[in-house]
Amino acid sequence: MKTLRTLTLAAAMLVSTTALAQQYGPQDEGRRFNDGSKVVCKNVEVQRSSKDSNRILGTATGAVVGGLLGNQVGKGNGKKVATVGGAVAGGLIGRKVQGNAQEKKGERVVERQCERVYR
């Protein structure tokens, strides 16, 4: 039961880190801030046909498999560390594998993306 909680927590941590960045849109282009930074926009080719663009399924599946494999290693606290390490590594690998699969099949479109540039 503790292993399942550990795996769930590790997977949730991986997924939640992608939602922390500030988003700017084309309406913010040229906006300047007091610290000298400004919003710059550019055209970027992106994939639009994917239903799971954040690759959550690959990340979660990889985290569970990695955690289960990591749980087979060590004893005591070492086993816990191996479980968490396996979950994190598995999540990263699962995300990468799903991204590669989605890149091979899918429609690419040009989208205007904006970011804050610091000088």
Q: What is the pTM of this model?
A: 0.49
Q: Which amino acid is at 6?
A: T
Q: Which amino acid is at 52?
A: D
63-116 pLDDT tens trace? 999 999 999 988 888 888 999 999 999 999 999 998 888 777 777 788 888 999
Q: Per-residue pLDDT for 58 more than 80? A: yes
Q: Please list, in sequence order, all residues whose beta carbon lies within 8 angstroms of the beta carbon of residue 36, skipping any fewer than 6 positions away.
A: 118, 119
**What are the distances in angstroms from CA 60 to CA 22, 63, 88, 91?**
24, 5, 10, 6
The DSSP code for 105 is S
**What are the distances in angstroms from CA 69 to CA 9, 19, 40, 74, 81?**
16, 28, 44, 11, 12
